[in-house]
Amino acid sequence: MSTVHVVGGGPAGLSAALFTEKNGLETTVYDSDETWMHKAHLFNYPGIGSVDGSGLLETMRNQVDHLGVDRRQGAHVERIEGTDDGFTIETDDGQETADYVVLATGANRDLAEALGCDFDGDIVDVDVTMETSIDGVYATGAMVRAEEWQAVISAGDGAAAALNILSGERGEHYHDFDVPADAEAVFGSMAEE
Ligand SMILES: Cc1cc2nc3c(=O)[nH]c(=O)nc-3n(C[C@H](O)[C@H](O)[C@H](O)COP(=O)(O)OP(=O)(O)OC[C@H]3O[C@@H](n4cnc5c(N)ncnc54)[C@H](O)[C@@H]3O)c2cc1C
């Protein structure tokens, strides 16, 4: 099974992790917990009228935990290096290896710079797939945007990166589609008796 290591546990990183773990890729999230979400109250996250930023983050964390993501809360990634067959990720707690890296570090772009990702001015250069100039490295959320700093946009970026990874793994465009029958299989019939 391929491994995806996500650096950053804000909306971008947790969204990427949700999609990759849900679809069978072993996923780890490192997060030093300095997300802007702790300062925000959102009236503009579609589908949710009004929510405290930390509260929404807690829901997102619970969702990935439930799916089985290995979430390393409090872990800080110091360095990432490319190897012949993937990447090594060095944290304050040791070293791990991964097949893919998703950077979701908010306004901090140091790891992308140290890895040698191309920049467009101050921001990491990606297209709509969120792939950087380095194979297997993705950048998502606030780090790839000069101004569009909205939680829902970051979450969309994370999902786009994950779907690109999944498409590469499966060798065809991957659609993470579920239908009512899938929900019934998980939750049982919603019909009232
Ligand atoms: C005062 C304020 C109010 C806001 N209000 C709104 C609002 O109403 N609506 C809205 O949509 N948006 C709002 N935002 C913006 C919103 O919070 C951001 O758009 C969103 O948090 C960006 O998500 P992200 O995942 O890209 O980055 P972040 O949420 O910033 O997450 C990045 C995470 O990466 C972690 N990290 C960074 N480097 C490392 C490392 N080396 N190792 C491990 N972890 C690392 C950080 O600690 C952080 O937890 C507001 C922001 C602020 C400051």
**pLDDT digits 0-9 by tens, 80-117:** 999 999 999 999 889 999 999 999 999 999 999 999 99
According to the CATH classification, is domain 3-187 in 3.40.50.970? no
Closest-lying ligand 1 atom to the alpha carbon of residue 152 = 11
- Residue range 26-41: mean pLDDT, rounded: 98
- Could you tell me the residue ranges of all domains in the chain? 3-187
Q: What pTM, to 2 d.p., does this model score?
A: 0.96
- Which helix H or strand E contains 15, and what residues bound it? helix 11-22
Q: Which two tokens stand for residue 65?
A: 């935990």
Closest-lying ligand 1 atom to the alpha carbon of residue 157 = 26
- Which helix H or strand E contains 78, and what residues bound it? strand 77-83
* Total count of residues recorded for the chain: 193
Q: How many CB atoms within 10 Å of residue 61?
A: 18
pLDDT at residue 124 above 70?
yes
Ligand 1, atom 50, residue with closest C-alpha: 40
